[in-house]
Amino acid sequence: MTDTCDNGRDAPRCVPASIPLLVTQKPLVQVRGLVKRYGGRVVAVDRLDLEVYAGEVLGIVGESGSGKSTVLRVLNLEERPDSGEYYFNTPELAGLNLFALDRPAQRRVRTFEIGIVYQNPHLGLRMRNTSSGNIAERLITAGERNYRALRLAARDALAASEFPLERMDDLPIRLSGGMQQRVQLAKAIALKPKLLLLDEPTTGLDVSVQARVLDTLKRLQRETGVTTIIVSHDLGVIRMLADRVMVMRRGRVVERGLTDQVLEDPQDPYTQQLVHAKL
């Protein structure tokens, strides 16, 4: 049995046969040899390999400056890496290195296949546009030219992220931090992406709001089965959401494995330090 089954998630997709899914399936997202430097000397990400299977939640933990947010920005095709390959195992994109695509093609991938939630809502939202407009923008980019359809889709996406619908036409700047994250989440899932990237989605929220946003994230992930990569320095968040975890330090992966395994029995000295600091 796979770890996905052990967590009691995605029960219908667990084949009772003895072959684990991770062996039979190809990973949905594959990254090979990712290198990202800033200004020549700073190596933010150093030869990173990464695989995420369909329906899985991968957690990335590490201290500030370990390169985890850079990984997400590069995976969202916002920044070009210095080298590396990035594959999506979907029928349309199989065998294409996404890093090598031209800008319009990358934009299509970013629009249709990837959703992202940033820690800072100013990065993910247009503060001068209404909340529903922020979601509509994504659908417009995808080619929707019907006003009523845009309204309905924005409403659906906001409802799915448990946003109070009577405030859907308020400016995000007038919303609380938790609501802003819900708008970002609605924007991210509006087009039913294959990959959801969460960059410290609940950092900066107070504990009770954090718990409610995490509940929403967990429920959405369970219902849609969207493949997710979540970056956080909060091991509690990782423990709650992630199936597998990757520990990064100075742009390198120091340890990876099942979440419970890594957090209960860390092997690498840095991970041990991290876990003890938290617990």
Partner 1 sequence: MPTIAELASPNPGYSYAFLDEFAKRELRRRILKAIAIPGYQVPYASRELPIARGWGTGGLQVTLSLVGPDDVVKVIDQGADDSVNAANLRRFVARMAGVATTTDALNATLIQSRHRIPEERLQEYQTLVLQVPDPEPLRSVEHDISKARLLHAEADYGLLWLRLYEQLVRYRRVTLGASYPCVVNGRYVMSPSPIPRWDVPKLHRAAHLTLLSAGREKRVYAVPPYTDVRPLEFADVPFRVEDQRGWTCRHTGLQHKFMSELPQPGGGTLYEISDTGFVEKVIARSRAAEVSIGATYYDDAGRFYIDGYLR
DSSP letter for 27, please. P
- Rank residues 87 and 112 by Cβ distance to partner 1 and give the closer one: 112
Closest CA to 30 of 85, 69, 105, 92: 85
Select 133 or 201, whichever has its Cβ closest to partner 1: 133
Partners of 42 in the β-ladder? 38
Contact in structure between 74 and 81 (CB atoms under 8 Å):
yes
Q: Which is nearer to partner 1, 82 or 144 (CB)?
A: 144
- Give phi and psi for 97, each to the nearest 5: -80, 110
Residue 145 interacts with partner 1 (CB under 8 A)? yes
Contact 73, 123 (CB under 8 A): no
Q: Which of 12, 39, 103, 166 binds partner 1 (CB under 8 A)?
A: 103
Q: Which stretch binds partner 1 (CB under 8 A): 1-9, 15-23, 75-83, 130-138?
A: 130-138
CB nearer partner 1, residue 97 or residue 146: 146
Indicate the angle between helix axes 177-189 and 147-160, nearest 10 degrees: 120
Among the listed ranges 76-84, 137-145, 203-211, 248-256, the one in contact with partner 1 (CB under 8 A) is 137-145
Count of C-beta atoms within a 10 Å radius of residue 120: 13
Q: Which helix (H) or strand (E) segment is 258 a member of? A: strand 252-258
Of the residues 8, 40, 91, 104, which one makes contact with partner 1 according to CB under 8 A = 104
| 95 token code pair | 């065998």
* Strand pairing report for 227-231 and 42-52: unpaired
Q: Binding segment for partner 1 among 99-107, 211-219, 232-240, 250-258 (CB under 8 A)?
A: 99-107
Nearer to partner 1 by Cβ, of 133 and 251: the residue is 133
Told to check if 147 binds partner 1 by CB under 8 A, we report: yes
Contacting positions for partner 1 (CB under 8 A):
103-104, 107, 126, 129-130, 132-133, 136-137, 140-141, 145-148, 150, 169
